[in-house]
């Protein structure tokens, strides 16, 4: 439809209203020819970020009757959030954003199946939920989290829709599993910023995650609306702006559709296949047991790989001493890295490959910093098998596990 054809009353895109038909909550949507409320009721959406964009995303999804949402955000509500977050109230200060947003979504749409998780999506969130989701929506304010979501979405063959806002401007971008991805769009400056923040000790994650960007509720509303409309279209199999971005500059009213190119040297385009669903939990399965499973499938020389590095110890260059230390990187602070003997900052020792020679065969995967419902990889150098810790499914998805309504 061209702009001069647009009028705010029924035209070729909508059905004629049957005035005798009784109206329900979603009656007006169903006047749109291609709209399928049942399809939305059965949809699984993973929303990451419950800040300014996330509030608008959750509000829109609840209003449109999306049935199943997993919402992930590890922040708590601060006074500055109250001016940009429709779902938060003064009395919510100090509570987890994800929990409050989920509660308010249930008030908007009581039939919604929404679950909140207050974890760090980069370090403490398994990839299993990306397999579960039909589409992923991001409302984030930092490159590191975007990069992690991008990689996980591509690994699972899923589309993710990113939103970014600053001042009165913003962009909504759709990244499909086969086209250009978020990493393909990253400039040298983006990498410099990311690496500069990572370079010191690799442990200043908390600081990295708390970028303070000037944003307004108006631009959050506009960009989140585009993200949600694209998600709804995608769920219906309609064409969306995959590999492109809708850019809007509010001060000058400049807008554009940006087309991205896939970079040949981009590292993010790895697909996790084949996936073997194991009836095992990260909190119970040991490194030794995991290696046994891998070697049964791939032979005695196969090794275990992880999808990201984990901390296995600290090294003090001053004292010349290495000590063992196991934790998720998301739960390690600079204070933990201080050497108890000399008081200097120690360097983290990281690993993402295990061949059974390590002295921890009885340590659980969780102790290594592997989150619930995650994947570990078996590799014999040529073939890879991706093992999903499916025993954690219920713990992460809760009521979302049995999602399909009759």
Residues that bind Zn ion (CB under 5 A): 181, 183-184, 266, 268, 316, 318-319, 339, 341-342
Q: What is the DSSP letter of 286?
A: B
Residues 327, 123 contacting (CB under 8 angstroms): no
| Smallest gap from residue 256 Cβ to Zn ion (A) | 21
Residues 271, 154 contacting (CB under 8 angstroms): yes
| Smallest gap from residue 130 Cβ to Zn ion (A) | 16
Nearer to Zn ion, 193 or 266 (CB): 266
| Smallest gap from residue 154 Cβ to Zn ion (A) | 8
Q: What is the DSSP letter of 242?
A: B
| Smallest gap from residue 140 Cβ to Zn ion (A) | 17
Residues 6+ apart with CB under 8 A from 77: 85, 88, 92, 93, 94, 95, 96, 97, 100
β pairing state of 275-278 and 384-389: parallel
Nearer to Zn ion, 238 or 342 (CB): 342
Nearer to Zn ion, 72 or 184 (CB): 184
| Smallest gap from residue 91 Cβ to Zn ion (A) | 43
Nearer to Zn ion, 293 or 337 (CB): 337
Nearer to Zn ion, 28 or 261 (CB): 261
Name the 3-class secondary structure at 263.
coil
Q: How many other C-beta atoms lie within 10 A of the C-beta of residue 382?
A: 6
CA distance 87 to 104: 6
Helix residue ranges, H only, 156-187: 182-185
Nearer to Zn ion, 181 or 337 (CB): 181
Cis upstream peptide for 225 (omega within 30°):
no
CA distance 250 to 167: 8
| Smallest gap from residue 105 Cβ to Zn ion (A) | 32
| Smallest gap from residue 187 Cβ to Zn ion (A) | 13
Nearer to Zn ion, 322 or 380 (CB): 322
Q: What is the DSSP letter of 117?
A: E
Q: Is the dihedral of CA 212, 124, 160, 154 positive or negative?
A: positive
| Total number of residues shown for the chain | 406
């Amino acid at each position: 439809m061209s702009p001069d054809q647009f009028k705010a009353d029924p035209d070729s895109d909508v059905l004629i209203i049957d005035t005798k038909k009784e109206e329900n909550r979603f009656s007006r949507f169903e006047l749109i020819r291609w709209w399928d409320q049942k399809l939305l009721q059965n949809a699984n959406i993973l929303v990451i970020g419950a800040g300014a964009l996330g509030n608008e995303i959750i509000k829109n999804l609840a209003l449109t009757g999306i049935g199943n949402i997993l919402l992930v955000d590890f922040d708590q509500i601060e006074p500055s959030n109250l001016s940009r977050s429709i779902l938060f109230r003064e009395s919510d200060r100090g509570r987890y954003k994800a929990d409050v947003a989920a509660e308010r979504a249930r008030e908007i749409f009581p039939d919604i199946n929404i679950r909140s998780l207050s974890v760090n999506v980069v370090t403490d969130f398994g990839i299993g939920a990306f397999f579960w989701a039909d589409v992923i929506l991001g409302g984030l304010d930092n490159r590191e989290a975007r990069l992690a979501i991008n990689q996980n979405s591509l690994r699972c063959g899923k589309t993710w829709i990113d939103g970014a806002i600053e001042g009165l401007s913003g962009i909504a971008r759709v990244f499909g599993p086969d086209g250009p991805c978020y990493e393909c769009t990253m400039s040298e400056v983006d990498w410099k910023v990311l690496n500069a923040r990572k370079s010191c000790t690799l442990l200043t994650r908390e600081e990295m995650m708390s970028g303070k960007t000037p944003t307004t509720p108006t631009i959050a509303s506009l960009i989140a609306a585009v993200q949600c409309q694209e998600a709804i279209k995608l769920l219906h199999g309609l064409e969306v702006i995959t590999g492109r971005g809708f850019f809007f500059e509010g001060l000058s009213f400049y807008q554009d559709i940006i087309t991205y190119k896939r970079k040949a040297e981009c590292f993010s385009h790895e697909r996790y296949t084949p996936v073997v669903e194991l009836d095992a939990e990260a909190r119970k399965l040991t490194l030794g047991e995991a290696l046994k499973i891998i070697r049964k499938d791939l032979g005695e020389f196969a090794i275990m790989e992880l999808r990201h590095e984990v901390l296995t110890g600290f090294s003090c260059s001053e004292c010349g001493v290495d000590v063992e230390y196991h934790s998720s990187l998301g739960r390690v602070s600079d204070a933990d890295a201080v050497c108890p003997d000399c008081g200097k900052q120690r360097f983290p020792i990281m690993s993402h490959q295990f061949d059974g020679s390590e002295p921890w065969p009885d340590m659980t995967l969780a102790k290594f910093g592997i989150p619930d419902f995650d994947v570990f990889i078996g590799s014999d150098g040529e073939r890879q098998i991706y093992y999903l810790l499916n025993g954690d499914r219920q713990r992460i998805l809760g009521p979302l596990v049995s999602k399909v309504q009759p």
